[in-house]
Structure 1
Amino acid sequence: MSEGFVLQSAEVIPIDAVAIFHFNDVNVSISFLSDTSGLFPSIFPQESPIGKFLSLSGTFGGEITLSFHYSAKNEVSPIAVLDLPQVPVSGKETEVLLRKLGAVSESSYNGIEIYSGRGLKIFRNGNRIIASPSLILIQSSIRHFKTKSSIMDNHDFRRMLTHTHEGDDKLFINIQQAGKFFSGYTDYRFWRYSDFMSKISSWSAFSIDRELKGVSLNGKFFNYRGKAEFSEIFSNIEGEKSEVWNLLPYNTYGALVLSVEDFNALLDSYYEHRRSYNVVEEVEYERCKDWFLTQKPAEVVLALIPYKSESRWVTLIRSEVRRGSGRKVASTFEFKGALATLFGKSFSYNPEKFVVTSGKWQLIGDEDMIREFASGDFEKYTLGDFMEQGEAGDMLTGSDSPLKVVANVSMMQDSVASVFRDPAHERVAVWLHKKNYQVLFFQIFPDLDKKSVDFSLSVISQRVPNLREPDTELVNVPDTVRIPVGPFLITKGQKEKMYLEQMPDNKLRLIYTDGRGIWAIPFTAPLRGFVEEVDYFSNKKFQMLFASGNKLYLLDKTGRYTGPFPKSVDSLILLGPKVYEHNGDFSIMLLHTDNKLRLYDRNCKPVEGWQDITTEEMIEGFPELMKIGECQYWILRTRLRTLIYRHSGEKIGDLSGKNTLLPDTKIRILSGTKVAVTTRKGKEISLDLQSGEIKKIRKRGKLF
C-alpha cells in the first residue's frame, strides 16, 4: 500500500481475527500485555504460554503482532507473530529461540514443520516465528499463508489501515464481532449487552500511552455502516464541559454525560441512528423532542448511585438558565419515558417518578433519592471532590467531548470483577483490591477529517495516600444507637493482652494493659464500634478487622494494613463489623445507616442468597446466631420485641400483634424445630422454625 499503516505480519494472520495488537518492540508488548501495574491484571501472565513466549522473545528484540480468534468453545485464543531483527542476519536466531522454548518437532502441515514447546504450537518462516496455544489456529495460519489469503482480505480492515497513521504500537479491534469477546471473556449474564457493543462501530484503531498511574488508549472509530453505528451520532456534534461532577455524590458508580452545544442537532443525529433500526415512532418522538427542547438543555446525565443498600438511577438535566422559584420541592414527573424515546434504552432504567428543580438542574428519579439530592447532603463530598484527589480529576473537569462515560471502579470493585468469567474473574477480583483509586473515563469526539470518530479511554489505577473518607456527618447516627469507642481488647495470637484504642485525633494506637504504647498510626475517621480478631490467612496470626465510612480494614499487630484491604461495601456502615465463626471460616455482619443488617463473606462480598434484615424500629445491635437441631437461626432483639430469622435472613412466622415476642424472651427447645417463646402479654407459644406455624404450648422442654 502506498499510504497508511503497513502490517507486514498480516500475511500469516487468518481472516477471522477479531482483534490485532502490533508492537514495533516486543519488550514494549511485555510491559503492556504481561505487566501487573494497571487497573486490571495482565492479559498474558508471565506463567502463561504466550507470557513465556513474550518474555523469552524480549532478549532477541524485533516486532510482535498478536491476533485474537474466536473458537466454538466460547473462547478467544491468540496467535503471536514475532519478526526477529533482520540485522545481523545469522540465520540462527529462530533456532536459539526454539531451543529456549523447549520446542521439538511434532508434525507437518501443508509441508511446514510444526513444533511443540511450553504449551505452544509453533512454526517458523524465515526470520519469523508464529506461535499459539491452539493447534487449529496454527494450522489455519499455515493454510492462509500457503493460499496467500489473510486478514487483508477483510475489506473494512484494509480500508481502516489506509487511514491509520504509522506508529509504534497499534491496536485494531473488529467492533462488529464484540459478541465474541463477550462470550470469550465475560460471564453469561452480560452477553445481552454484546448487541449494543457490536453497533458502536465497524472497526477501531488506537494507540497505547502507558503512564505511571494508568493507560490511555487514543484512536478512531471507523464507521462503514453509516448512521447504524452508534459512534456516528457524534461525528458532527461539538461538545462542552460538564458541570455535574460537583452535584453527584462521591460514591457514584458511574455516569453517562451528554453535554453539547446544540441539542437539536444531537437529537436529529440520534433520530437517524434509531431510524436505521426501525425503532422510532414518529409522533411520540416529536412530542418528546418538543418537550425536551423547551427545557433549553445544556447537559443530560444518567447516573447510578448506591443508596439505602440498593443501586438507584437518577437523571439530571441542566438548562442554560435557572428555572423556577428555586424551591426544592419534589413533584410527579409527567414525561416518563421521554428521555428513553430520545436517547435510548439506558434512560428507561430510571423509574422517573419524581422531579426536583434546583437552579439550572432538574433531578429525576424515585422520591427518596430525589429528596436526598434536594437536602444538599450529597454536595458535602461530591464525585468531583473524590476525583480531584487522583489523576482523573483534571480529565473530568477539562473534557469538552459531547459524550463522556465515567466508571468509578473504586466504589464497585467486586461488581466489576463479576463481569468476567473464570479464570479471569478471580485474578481481576484480587487485583482490583490492590489500589484505592480506580477510574475508567471514556470520551467521543468529532473528527475533522470526517472519515472517522475520535475516542479516548483512560484507565487509571493508583493508591492515593490519605484518600478522603466520607465526612462523619454523612453518617446519621440515631440517638438510640450507642457506638462503642473502645479501647478494644485484643487477646488472640499473643501471650499478653493488648488494647487497640482510637485517640481524639482519630489515630489508632496499640497499647499494653498497663497503658504502655506499642505503636500509633494515622487514621482519619471514627471506627464503627467494633474491632474483631480474625485469622484471615489461616496461619494462626490474627489480624484486627474494623470499619469506617463504607470500608473495612485489616490491620496486623505491627501496625501494617494487610491482605486485599481496605474493601468497600455499597452502603455506609453504622455499626460493625460483627464476626461469626463457622467451620473454620467466618462471616461478617454490618449494620448500615439505612437500618439494615447485611451478611458478608470473608472477602466482604454479600453472602449469596442473603435477605437483608430490617425492622420498623431502630436496630441497635447484632443478632445472636443460635443452633437448633441441624440448622442455625438469627435471634434479633430490639427495644420493642424479639424476631427470629433463618440463616438466610428470611423472617420466620408472623410475630406481630398478639404474637409479638418480649424483647428478652427465653427460647426453649420443645422438639425437632419447635421452640417455646413468650409474647409481650406473658403467654408462651410454640413456634415451628421450619414452617413458621404458631400454636399454644402443650409441653415444656429443656431451657436452651
Structure 2
Amino acid sequence: MKRYLIIILLILAGAVAGFLYFAKDEVAFTKESPLYKAVPLSVPLFLEADGLKAIPADNPVVIELAGIPGFNNLLNEISGIQSVIESEPEIQKQLGKRPVVLALDFVGKNVLHPVIIGNLKSAKEREGLELLIEKLTGISRTSFQKRNYNGYAIIDVFDSDGNNELSYSVAGNLVIISPEVILVEKCIRQLDVPGITDNQYFNLVNRTVANQSELAGYINHRRFPELWADLLNSTTKQQENEFGETDRINLKRDVLKIKDYASWSELDLSFHDNRLTLNGITAADDSLNHFLSVLQGQEAVSCNADRLLPKSTSFYIGFSFSNRDLFFKNLENYFVHSEAYYNREEKIKMMEQNFRTDSREKFRSLVKDKVLAAITTVPTEAEMGSLLILNGQSGKESQEVFEGMLTNYAKRKDSELESLVSTFRSSDQQNYRIYQFPYPSLPGIWLGGAFDFVRARFAAFRDDQLIFASSKEELEKYLDDMDSGETLRTDSDYETISRAAESKANLNVYGNINKLYALRHDLFSSEINKGLEKNEAVFRKFNAISWQVVCENNIYFNALNLGYQQKAKNDVRAKWQCRLGAEVALKPQLVINHTNKAKKEIVVQDVNNQLHLVDADGKIIWSAPISGKIMGQIHQVDYYNNGKLQYLFNTNEKIYLIDRNGTSVANFPIILKSPATNGVNVFDYNNNNQYRYFVACQDKRVYAYSHEGKIISGWSFDKTSGTVTSPIAFFRVSNKDYIVFSDENQVYIQNRRGVMRVNSSAKFAPSANEMALNTQGVPKMVTTSRDGDVFYLFFDGKFAQKKPENFHPIIGLKWMILTAMESQSSYLLTRMACMFSTKMGINCLKKSLTIIC
C-alpha cells in the first residue's frame, strides 16, 4: 500500500477542504510581498491571502465543512476575531485587511505549528494589535513579558498558570506571531540570512500568481513529505517478491523518498458550488534530478483513461507524452541519479537473463504515447485489484514481441509458451489469449514508485492495448467490462469531475474518495482515522479528486479539482445497507431462509469472487471464496431431503453446493471436465429431491450429473456443433420428458438418455435467449432467431414462424411477451424481463410493453 500518489490524493482531499480553507479566512495575500523575508527555509507549506475577510457562509462547501466540530470551532474563532476588530475603535480596521502569511513548520518531534507574518505600519497599529491579543486571550497587556532576541524584542503572553499562550515580535514593519516561541525566534534569525526570495524556483512560481487569486499556497517539495509522514500508518509490512527478496513496506518511511519530486509549487485556491479547485505551476530542474523533469520537452496529450479503464476504477495514474523516446530517456536518466538505481538495475538484469533480450527496450516498443495504472477493487482484507495498460502501435506486432519474450522465458524454464497461456471468451463472445506473467513487480521497477501498487501477474491484448492485471479473474472482468461498454466514462462521479478537467495533460491522477475510503486504515495513523470515521458522512460528500500536470515550454501547470456532491445521487431511503468491502459483480439474488421463510435473504458475489449471504437486516452471515465468476442462476435445493436448503451454482471451473453456513456439501465442489459455457440447471424429474445437474462446456459436450455429483453413464449425448450459452431446459409434455438446448446453429430436443426425441424441421440460427414452453392450445416451445424471428417448435417436429414488424431485428421480445401472456405465465414473463437486462434489452422491453398495452 505504499503508493505515493494515492496518499497525495487522500491527504489533499482533506487538506484542501479544510486546512487551506482556514487559511483563506485568517491570512492575506500580496504579490512581491516582503513578508517572504521572514519565512523559514525549512517550512514545507505556507499560505497567503488578501486579508481576514468574512467567510462566504452561503457556499455549499463551507456549509458542509461547518458540520465538522473542529472546523466549525475554527470558523467561529475567525468570526470572533473579525467581531473584535470591528467592535473596538482602538483596533485599526487595517489589521483585518493586510497581507498576511501563514507558515507551517516543525517543532520538536516533527510536530507542525503555525506562525503568522504580517505588516504593522505605525506604533498605533502595534497598540491595536496588543489590544486584539488581550481581547482574544483574556490576558491583560500589563502581564505581557518582553525580552530581547537577536536585536529584536519578543513578547511572551503567559496565562495565569504560567503557560505560554503565544509569542510575538515586531521586527521593523513585520509582526511575527506563533503559539511556539521557537518559531518566532526562527523567523527572526531568517531575516539576516538568504531566504526563499533568493531561491530561483520559488521566484519562478511566485511570478505566476494570479492577481485575482484570493488565496495562494506554496509547497516546498523538499520538506513537504515530512508533513505527510506523521499522518500515515507507521506499521511495517513484509512481503516476498518474485526475486526471493523480502520487501518491507512502511508508509511513514517510504513517503520521504519523494522529496525529489520537484522544487516549489504555487497553487491558487478557488471555491465553487460543487468543487474546490487548485491551479498553479510547479518548478522542477533535471540538473537537480527532480522527477517531474521526466516530462521535460513533452506536449500535452489526451489520456483517454475514461475509455481504457473500467467503470469500477477507484484510482488511476497515467503518463501521456508526445515524444515516447524522450520520455523514456528522461526516465532512465532520473533513475541513474536516484538512490534506487542499483537495486533497480539488478532486478532488470535478472529479468533480461530469462527473457534473453533487452526487456526495457522491448517494453518501450509496446508503448505509443501513454501508460496507465489503476486500482479497481478495494477489498477490506484481500489484495486490491490492479491494472497496468500500455497502448501500443499495432496489436499484432506488439503481441509477437511479447510472446517472443515469454517464449524465451519458457525455454529457460524447460517449458513451452503454451504452458503460460490460457483462453477466455468474454460475455460479448470475444476470444482472448491470457498470459501468465512471471514478474508481477514489473510496473514499479520499470516506471517507478508511483506504479508500485500494480501486481502484473496476468496479461492480455485487447485492440492495441497490452493489459496487465493482478489476477486472472481481474483481467477477465476487465475484458468483460470493456466489451460490454462498462467504461469509466459511464461512472457519474468521474463524469462530474472530468467536466472541470483539462482535455490534454502529461500526468493524470484520479481518485474516487468513497471507493478508496476502505484503504484508510492501511494509509493513515490511528489518530487521523478517528477523525475520518467520526466525520465520515461529511468527508464522503467530497466524492472524487483529479490532478493533472500539463507541460508547456518546460513549465509545469497544475490543475487539481476536488469534487463535492451536495446530495446523494439517489434520494431513496434504503431499509438497510450492507458493505461488502468490494464492488458487486452480479446482481443480488433473493433466496429463501428455510429457518424463517417469512424473511428472505440475499446471496451476492463481489468482484473478488467472494460469495456473501446477507440476512434481512443487512448483516453478512458468511462469506466464502469462489473459484471464479458465477455463471447463470443460483438454485436452492433440498439435497438431504430434510427441509433444509442449499445453494447450487457453477463457475467456469466447478459446480458448487454450499449450505446455509457457507460450507461445501458432500462431494462438492465438482471440477468440470472442460470450462463451462452456461449456467448449470437443476431438474427434479420425479419431485423426490433426487436432482440432476446439466451444464454445457467448451468441449461442445453437455454433461449430466447425478444427485451426488457423478457423471450419469446413461446420458449418451455426443457433441453440439456450436457453443451452448443459455441454460439447459427441461419440459414434461404428455408424460414425456424433453431435454432442450441450443447453440448458434440449431436446437437440440433430446430425451433423458441424450437421444434425439424430436427432429425439428425448423432450420434457423437460434439466439442466446432461453427457450419458453407455451401450453396454450397445442403445446409448443417458443424461441427466437438471431434475425429476430419468433419460432414455435411443436413436439411433432413441425414449426411456425412469425416475423415481427417495426421492431428490433435481433430480439423479437414483443412476441415472446405476448406468448407468455397467452399462457398466463407471470413467472415466465418475470424470467424474460430478467433475461433482457442489457441496455438494449431494457429499451426494447419498454417499447414492447408500450405496444402491448
| Band the TM-score falls in, shorter-chain normalisation | 0.5 to 0.7
How has the CA–CA distance of structure 1 residues 129 and 293 changed in structure 2, closer, same or farther, with 3 Å as cutoff? closer
What are the Cα deviations for residues 484-532 of structure 1, in whole angstroms up to 9, with x where unaligned?
Answer: 9x9988xxxxxxxxxxxxxxxxxxxxxxxxxxxxxxxxxxxxxx937xx
How has the CA–CA distance of structure 1 residues 422 and 156 changed in structure 2, closer, same or farther, with 3 Å as cutoff? farther
CA distance in 2, matches of 1:361, 1:439: 26
Structure-1 residue corresponding to 2:192: 148
Residue 297 in structure 1 maps to residue 357 in structure 2: no
Residue 18 in structure 1 maps to residue 44 in structure 2: yes
SS at match of 1:355: strand
How has the CA–CA distance of structure 1 residues 239 and 152 changed in structure 2, closer, same or farther, with 3 Å as cutoff? closer
SS at match of 1:376: helix
Q: CA deviation at 1:32?
A: 14
CA distance in 2, matches of 1:54, 1:421: 31
Q: CA RMSD in A?
A: 4.7
SS at match of 2:32: coil
Alignment counterpart, residue 105 of structure 2, candidates 54, 69, 75? 69
Q: CA deviation at 1:411?
A: 0.6
Structure-2 residue corresponding to 1:392: 497
Residue 372 in structure 1 maps to residue 477 in structure 2: yes
CA distance in 1, matches of 2:359, 2:571: 42
Residue 252 in structure 1 maps to residue 283 in structure 2: no
How has the CA–CA distance of structure 1 residues 424 and 52 changed in structure 2, closer, same or farther, with 3 Å as cutoff? farther
Instruction: Indicate if the aligned counterparts of 2:286 and 2:293 stay in contact, CA closer than 8 A.
Output: no
Q: CA deviation at 1:54?
A: 7.2
CA distance in 2, matches of 1:256, 1:32: 35
What are the Cα deviations for residues 373-413 of structure 1, in whole angstroms up to 9, with x where unaligned?
Answer: 223378564332114675313246x5311211111111122
Alignment counterpart, residue 301 of structure 2, candidates 202, 222, 240? 240
Identify unmatched segments of 5+ residues in structure 2.
1-29, 86-92, 236-250, 400-429, 573-579, 628-653, 669-853
Q: TM-score, normalized by length of structure 2?
A: 0.52
Query: 1:636-655, aligned counterparts within 5 Å?
Result: 639-640=665-666
Q: TM-score, normalized by length of structure 1?
A: 0.62
Instruction: Indicate if the aligned counterparts of 1:5 and 1:165 stay in contact, CA closer than 8 A.
Output: yes
Identify unmatched segments of 5+ residues in structure 1.
490-527, 531-546, 551-568, 580-586, 597-614, 624-635, 643-704
Structure-2 residue corresponding to 1:413: 517
SS at match of 1:255: strand
Alignment counterpart, residue 336 of structure 2, candidates 258, 271, 275? 275
Q: CA deviation at 1:454?
A: 1.9
| Aligned AA (1:360) | D
What are the Cα deviations for residues 355-376 of structure 1, in whole angstroms up to 9, with x where unaligned?
Answer: 2112122221222221222233
CA distance in 1, matches of 2:503, 2:559: 11
Alignment counterpart, residue 460 of structure 1, candidates 539, 545, 563? 563
Structure-1 residue corresponding to 2:135: 100
CA distance in 2, matches of 1:399, 1:273: 27
| Aligned AA (2:601) | G
Q: CA deviation at 1:78?
A: 0.9
Instruction: Indicate if the aligned counterparts of 1:5 and 1:164 stay in contact, CA closer than 8 A.
Output: no
Alignment counterpart, residue 475 of structure 1, candidates 579, 582, 586? 586
How has the CA–CA distance of structure 1 residues 41 and 321 changed in structure 2, closer, same or farther, with 3 Å as cutoff? farther
CA distance in 2, matches of 1:594, 1:24: 58
Structure-2 residue corresponding to 1:673: none
Structure-1 residue corresponding to 2:223: 177
Higher helix proportion, which one?
Answer: 2
CA distance in 2, matches of 1:234, 1:195: 22
Q: CA deviation at 1:137?
A: 2.0
How has the CA–CA distance of structure 1 residues 42 and 318 changed in structure 2, closer, same or farther, with 3 Å as cutoff? farther
CA distance in 2, matches of 1:67, 1:156: 20
SS at match of 1:176: coil
SS at match of 2:43: coil
Alignment counterpart, residue 166 of structure 2, candidates 114, 117, 121? 121
CA distance in 1, matches of 2:37, 2:60: 26
CA distance in 2, matches of 1:318, 1:355: 13
| Aligned AA (1:444) | V
Instruction: Indicate if the aligned counterparts of 1:595 and 1:618 stay in contact, CA closer than 8 A.
Output: no
| Aligned AA (1:93) | G
Higher strand proportion, which one?
Answer: 1
SS at match of 1:187: coil
Q: CA deviation at 1:113?
A: 2.2
CA distance in 2, matches of 1:128, 1:46: 30
Identity %, equivalent residues = 12
How has the CA–CA distance of structure 1 residues 177 and 36 changed in structure 2, closer, same or farther, with 3 Å as cutoff? same
SS at match of 2:564: strand
CA distance in 2, matches of 1:75, 1:380: 49
Instruction: Indicate if the aligned counterparts of 2:60 and 2:566 stay in contact, CA closer than 8 A.
Output: no
| Aligned AA (2:319) | L
| Aligned AA (2:47) | F
CA distance in 1, matches of 2:483, 2:601: 25
Q: CA deviation at 1:232?
A: 1.0
CA distance in 2, matches of 1:32, 1:177: 36
Alignment counterpart, residue 383 of structure 1, candidates 488, 492, 498? 488
CA distance in 2, matches of 1:33, 1:135: 36
Instruction: Indicate if the aligned counterparts of 1:417 and 1:428 stay in contact, CA closer than 8 A.
Output: no
Mark the structure with the bigger radius of gyration: 2
What are the Cα deviations for residues 6-38 of structure 1, in whole angstroms up to 9, with x where unaligned?
Answer: 123234433432221011122278989997557
SS at match of 1:466: coil
Residue 195 in structure 1 maps to residue 256 in structure 2: yes
Alignment counterpart, residue 315 of structure 1, candidates 381, 388, 393? 388
Instruction: Indicate if the aligned counterparts of 2:388 and 2:454 stay in contact, CA closer than 8 A.
Output: yes
